[in-house]
Amino acid sequence: MLQKPESGALPSPQAEGEKDGSRDGETQTLTASQKEVPSPFLQESPNEDLGARREEGATASSLTPKGARTLAAKALARRRAYRRLDRTVAELVQFLLVKDKKKSPITRSEMVKYVIGDLKDLFPEIIARAAEHLRYVFGFELKQFGRKHHTYILVNKHKPLEEEEEEVEEEDLGGDGPRLGLLIMILGLIYMKGNSARETQVWEMLRRLGVRPSKYHFLFGYPKRLIMEDFVQQRYLNYRQVPHTNPPECEFSWGPRSNLEISKMKVLGFVAKLHKKEPQHWPVQYREALADEADRARAKARAEASMRARARARARATDRAGIYPW
Amino acid sequence: MEEGRAERRRRTEAPSHTQGGPRRAGVMTDVHRRFLQLLMTHGVLEEWDVRRLQKHCYRVHDRTAAVEELEDFINNINSVLESLYIEIKKGATEDDGRPVYALVNLATTSVSKMASDFAENELDLFRKALELIIDSETGFASSTNILNLVDQLKGKKMRKKEAEQVLQKFVQNKWLIEKEGEFTLHSRAILEMEQYIRETYPDAVKICNICHSLLIQGQSCETCGIRMHLPCVAKYFQSNSEPRCPHCNDYWPHEIPVFDPEKEREAATSRATKRSLRSRQH
C-alpha cells in the first residue's frame, strides 16, 4: 500500500539515493554496497572480481601447474561461498515471510541471530538481495522503520480487493477477519475523535459491543491482550500516557503500520457505512481524509518515478558489469 | 493499452539474475505474485480452488491474456522459486485422493511454518500428537491419548481444557483433521512436513507401496505388512475382481474403495457455488 510521508518514522522515497547499505532494502543498495564493502570471500577487489573469471581463462594456460591448481582452488572456494550466500538469502526470505505473518516488526538482531550468523558483515548485501526476491517473487516491499532502529516490516504491494470486484474471498485470512474488524472499529473511533482516543473511550465502545477487556471472547481471545499487546507490538496502534493527567490517563492513536495498510478515507467510509450515512456527513473528517488521499497520490507518483529511475540505472549498471555473480 | 505498457514495464524491472543468467528461470508477473500470495495465505488448496484462484488472478491483472495451463503455470512459478529453496507441491488427500497444492520448503525446517502462529507449548502439543499419529496403526490418535500427554509439554503449563482448544486451532488452521474424537494429519501437514517426518521418525514412518510417499492412513496387507493409500488401492485394483497383494500375492483382505470422478466434479462445483452464495450474503 502507499507510504504516508511521516516525519522520522519511515524512509521517504527520496532517500534511496544514499549509499548507506542498511537504509533501503532494494537493489540499488546492492550495487552500492558491492563497491564499498569488499566481500571477505573475494581476494581481489570487488570490481576486478567481475572480470576475474575472464582473466582466469586467459592466464591459466600461462601459469605453472601449481599456479593453475591454486587458481582452481580459489575458484571452487568462491563458488562455495556464493552458494552459501544464496542459501542464507533464501533462508532470510523464508524467515521474513514467516515472521511477517505474525505482523510484528523484525529486527536486524533477530535476523542475525536466527539466520545470518557469522555472515553478519554481509548483512547489507544479504538483506538487499532478500528484499529484491520479496519484491520480484512475492510482491512485498521490505520497509525499514526509523533510521536508527534497524526494524523492518513487509508491506504488500497488492492491495486486497474491494468486495464488489471479486468472487474469490480474499478476506478469508485464516481467522484474522474478526480481529482486523475489531482493529478497524478502534481505528475508526480514534479517527473520529480527532486522531486520538482515550483508553476509557475505547473500552466503553467495546463494552457496548459486548467485549470486555479480560473476558475470553470466542472471536478475539483475550481482548485486553489483543489490543494492548498484539496491536501495539504490531504497530497498528500507538499507546501512550497523556501528560498532565491526574489520575494518569492513556490514549490510543494510529500506529505506523495502520497508516501504511489502510487510509483515513477507507476508515471513514467504514464508519459511514456503520451509521448508514455518507462520509460527507462529517465535513471535518471528510476534508482531512481528502487531504490524506492527495498526499498518498503524490507520494505514490514520486515513488513510481524513482522506481523507474532506479530501473534505468540498474539496467545501465548491469550492462557494464557483464558477468552476474549469482 | 495502459495495462499492456504497465505490464511490460513491470517485466523489464525484473532483476538481472533471471534474465541472461546461468539458470533459465521463468518470469514473474503480478498474476503470478498475487497467486503466490493467496496460496500462501490459504496454506493448502484443492485443485478446483487453485484453478479458480488462477483465473481470478488473471482477471485482476491481465484480462487480455489467455489463462495458462495450470501445470505449466505452476512449473513456471516453481522455476523462479527454485533459487529460494521452496516450491508449490502437489499432493492428494488420503481419504479420497483429491489433488491439493501447498507451498513447501525444500530444505527441512521441521514445524517452522507453524512457529509463527503457535506458542512453544502448543507446538510441543502438536509434536506429541504427530508422534502418536505416526506410531498408530490406523493413522489416528484419540483425543484422550493426546490430552494425557499435556503434563509432558515444554513451555508454559497447559490444562487439558486449554489443550482441547489448541487442538481445535490446529484443525482450523488445517494442520490436523478430526473425525469422531480422533485426530490425523491434514494433507497440508503431510505435504509440508513429509521430509521432516521421514528424517525424524525413520523407523516408525510408513510408506505407500505404490506411490512411495509418506502414508498416514491406508490399508495394509495382513500377511506381509505392506501398506497402500486408499486412492492408490482404488487405482491399483481398479476393476480387478480378485485383488492380490502386489508384494506377497496373498488375497487382499480389504474393501476396495471406488472414487467416482464424475461425483468428484459435482461435489467440487457445489462447494464452489455454496462459497459464492455465502460471500454475497454480507
Q: Collect all residues of chain A within an 8 Å Cβ-Cβ radius of residue B275.
A: 169
Same domain, A88 and A129: yes
Share of chain B above pLDDT 70, in %: 80
Q: Which of A156, A185, A209 is the last residue of a domain?
A: A156
Tell if the CB–CB gap between A324 and B275 is shorter than 8 Å: no
Task: Please check whether residues A243 and A284 belong to one and the same domain.
Answer: yes
Q: Residue B15: is its pLDDT beyond 50? A: no
Band the pLDDT of A260: cuts 50, 70, 90: confident
Residue type, A254: W
The number of distinct structural domains making up chain A is 2
Mean pLDDT over the full length of chain A: 74
- Could you tell me if A150 and A194 lie in one domain? no
User: Is residue A37 situated within a structural domain?
Assistant: no
Grid-cell match 515471510, residue found: A97
Within-domain flag for A247 = yes
Q: How far apart are CA B99 and CA B102, in angstroms?
A: 10
Q: How confident is the model at residue A191 (pLDDT cuts 50, 70, 90)?
A: very high
B/e letters for B38-63, b = 16+ CB within 10 Å, e = fewer, are bbbbbbbbbbbbbebbbebbbebbbe
Report the interhelical angle of B187-200 vs B120-135 (nearest 10°).
Answer: 80
Same domain? For A236 and A193 the reply is: yes
Q: How confident is the model at residue A65 (pLDDT cuts 50, 70, 90)?
A: confident
Examine the domain organization and report whether A117 and A198 are in the same domain: no
Whose CA is closest to A151, among A195, A100, A117? A100
Residue A165 covered by a domain: no
- Pairing type for strands B227-228 and B219-220 reads antiparallel
Q: Which residue has the higher pLDDT, B220 or A65?
A: B220
Q: Does residue A290 share a domain with residue A247?
A: yes
- DSSP lists the bridge partners of residue A140 as A156
* Residues in chain B closer than 8 A to A132 (CB atoms): 15
Better pLDDT: A42 or B270: B270
Asked if the C-beta of A102 comes within 8 angstroms of chain B's C-beta atoms, the answer is yes
**A79 in B contact zone (CB under 8 Å):** no
Please indicate, yes or no, if residue A213 is contained in any of the structural domains: yes
| Residue given cell 470466542 in the structure block | A218
DSSP result, A98-149? HHHHTT--EEHHHHIIIIIGGGGGGHHHHHHHHHHHIIIII-EEEEEESTTT
Sort out which chain B residues have CB atoms less than 8 A from A157's CB and list them.
33
Domain residue limits at A136: 71-156
Domain contains A62: no
Q: Do A3 and A136 touch, CB atoms closer than 8 A?
A: no
Digit-coded pLDDT (tens) for A147-178: 666 788 888 877 655 433 444 444 433 335 66
ipTM above 0.90, yes or no: no
H or E element in which residue B44 lies = strand B44-46
Contact B112 A98 (CB under 8 A): yes
A150 and A247 in a single domain? The answer is no
As a residue count, chain A comes to 326
pLDDT of residue A202: 94
- Do A150 and A185 lie in one domain? The reply is no
Rounded Cα–Cα distance for residues B80 and A138 (Å):
11
A99, A132, A169 member nearest B279 (Cβ) = A169
Residue A325's pLDDT band, with cuts at 50, 70 and 90, is: very low
- Residues A262, A204 share a domain: yes
For A139, the closest of B13, B33, B86 (CB atoms) is: B33
**Is the Cβ pair B34, A97 closer than 8 Å?**
no
Residue A275 belongs to a domain? yes
Do A181 and A295 lie in a common domain?
A: yes
Whether A163 maps to a domain, the answer reads no
Q: Which of A99, A123, A156 is the last residue of a domain?
A: A156
Are A152 and A220 in a shared domain?
no
- Pick among A34, A126, A157, A168 to test the B interface (most B CBs inside 10 A): A168
Sort B279 into a burial class: Cβ within 10 Å, 0-12 / 13-18 / 19+.
middle
Going by C-alpha positions, the residue among A153, A92, A140, A139 that lies closest to residue A117 is A92
pLDDT of residue B112: 66
**Nearest C-alpha in A relative to B30:** A139
Does residue A31 sit within a domain? no
Give me the pLDDT at residue A187, please: 93
Percent of chain A with pLDDT over 70: 69
Q: What is the largest CA-CA distance in chain B?
A: 68
Tell me chain B's radius of gyration from C-alpha atoms.
22
A308 to chain B: which residues are within 8 Å by CB? Answer: 9
Helix (H) or strand (E) holding B181: none
Specify the CATH number for the domain of residue A121. 1.10.10.1200
Nearest C-alpha neighbor of A234 from the set A264, A212, A256: A256
- What's chain B's average pLDDT? 83
Both A183 and A265 in one domain: the answer is: yes
The CATH number of residue A288's host domain is 1.10.10.1210
Answer whether B122's CB lies under 8 Å from B166's CB. yes
For residues B38-43, average pLDDT: 86
A169: DSSP letter: -
Amino acid letter, B268 = A
